[in-house]
Amino acid sequence: MTDFTTKAPGVYIEEITPAGPIAGAGTGAPALIGVVAKPPADAALGTPVAITNWTAYTTAFGSYAASADTPYAVRGFFDNGGTLAYVVPIKDTTGVDAALDALTRQSDIGMVCLPGVVDPAVQSKVITHCETMGDRFAILDGAPDPTPLAQGGTLQTQRAGLDSANGFGALYWPWIVIPDPTAAAGSSATVAVPPSGHVAGVMSRCDNTIGIHQAPANQVVRGAVSLGYALNDAEQGVLNHSNINAIRTFPGGPPLIWGARTLTTSTEWQYVNVRRLVSYIEASIVQGVRWAVFAPNNTGLWKGLERTITEFLTRIWETGALFGATANEAFYVLINDELNPPAVRDLGQVFVEIGLAPTRPAEFIVLRIGLWDGGTQVSES
C-alpha cells in the first residue's frame, strides 16, 4: 500500500490485485494408524510421520513383523500409485484415540486407515473423526469370515456396528492374498493381508490420473495375486445391498475393487466418489475465499463471492464431475438478501447457498436383448 503521507494533496491511482480463482485443495494423503515393527519411543507414539516411499518407511519403522499389518498396508499403498502417506505408530488399539487427536492438527489428510483392525467399536472412532473433520474419509477392513452372508457371523455383525449418516467411511472385503515378502527367495508362499492400504493407493491413483469424481472401483489391486474368499454374483449382491464393497476376481483377470458404496443408508451420500468430491469442493471453497474474511459485508462482496465460486464450480463441471448438459443444470450459487437479512449482516455473517449435481457411478448396466426373426422392421407412427 502506498504511503500517502509524503505525497502532495490530490487524486492518485493505486491498482490492487483482485482475488484470484479458487485453486482446488489437495485430495489429501492417507493416514495409516497401526502397530509397526520398530516402534518409536513412547513419547513419539501417536505422532504422524510423513512417508514418501517404502524405503523411508523401513528406515523409520522397520520392515515386516508377525503382529503388524501396517507395513503390508504401507507397501500396498505405494505399489498402487500412492505418493505420500502419514504413518501414525501405536502400541495397540488403546492408542487410537491419541492418534486421531494428533490427526486433527494435520490439515492435509484425505483418508484414514486402521490396517487389520476389524473391531467396529474402534473403527467407529475413525468414522466419527472423519465426520467431525469433514475433509477426510475412513477406509476400513472387513473381518475375515468363511460365511460372509451369515446373520450373526463375524462380517455381518461388524457391518451392523458401523454407520456413517453422511457417508464418511467405507468397508472393503475380503482380505487380499499377496506373495509373502518375508519368505525365502524363490518361495511361492503367500499371505493374506487387509486391503485398506491397497485401496487407499487405488484412490490416490484415481485422484491423480482421472480425478476425485472417479469412483474408485473396477480398478486393479496391484500386488494382489488372489483373494481370501472368492465371491460369486449372488453373494456380492447381498454384500452390495449391505454397502460392503467387494474385491473380486473374474476369469483370466487380476483382483479388482468391485464396489463404491459408503456406510450409509442415505441415497445422497451412498457413493464413495460423491462423498469425497463434495468434501473436496467444500475444502477448496473454504480455502479459496479466505480473502473475503473481514471485507465489507455488502453487495460488492456478495458478487465477488458468487463470481469466484461460480468460476471454480464451472471448472469442476467441465471435468465431468458434475452432471448436466450446461453449468446451470450442474450447480447453482445463491447469495442474496433473503439469505443475508440485516440481522445476519449485523452479526458479521455471510451465507452462501450452493447446490451440486454430482455424477454418480453406473452400478447397473442394463442390456435389453430380444430375438428377431430377421424380417422387415415396421415402425408405427
What is the distance between the alpha carbons of residues 170 and 219, in angstroms, rounded to a whole number? Answer: 16
Report CA 307 to chain centroid distance, whole Å.
Answer: 28
Phi, psi of 58 (to 5 degrees): -65, -30
- pLDDT tens digits, one per residue of 327-355: 999 999 999 999 999 999 999 999 999 99
Which cell goes with 280?
473436496
pLDDT of 20 reads 73
pLDDT of 117 reads 98
Positions of E strands within 90-136: 109-113
* Helix runs in 148-209, H state only: 154-160, 196-209
**How deeply is 166 buried, as exposed, middle or buried, from its count of CB atoms within 10 A (0-12, 13-18, 19+)?**
middle
Which cell goes with 224?
494382489
Report the run of H or E that residue 314 belongs to, with start and end.
Answer: helix 299-318
Task: Kindly report the pTM of this predicted structure.
Answer: 0.91
Q: Where in the chain is the domain with CATH 3.40.50.11780?
A: 29-275
pLDDT of 336 reads 95
What is the distance between the alpha carbons of residues 227 and 197, in angstroms, rounded to a whole number? Answer: 15
Architecture of domain 29-275: 3-Layer(aba) Sandwich (3.40)
Question: Is the separation of the CB atoms in 205 and 80 below 8 Å?
Answer: yes
Widest CA span in the chain: 95
What is the distance between the alpha carbons of residues 355 and 301, in angstroms, rounded to a whole number? Answer: 20
Per-residue pLDDT of the chain (381 residues; tens, 9 = 90+): 566 566 776 676 655 445 678 888 888 899 999 999 999 999 899 999 999 999 999 999 999 988 899 999 999 999 999 999 999 999 999 999 999 999 999 999 999 999 999 999 999 999 999 999 999 999 999 999 999 999 999 999 999 999 999 999 999 999 999 999 999 988 999 999 999 999 999 999 999 999 999 999 999 999 999 999 999 999 999 999 999 999 999 999 999 999 999 999 889 999 999 999 999 999 999 999 999 999 999 999 999 999 999 999 999 999 999 999 999 999 999 999 999 999 999 999 999 999 999 999 988 888 889 998 877 655 554
**How deeply is 88 buried, as exposed, middle or buried, from its count of CB atoms within 10 A (0-12, 13-18, 19+)?**
buried
pLDDT of 381 reads 46
Question: Is the separation of the CB atoms in 305 and 18 below 8 Å?
Answer: no
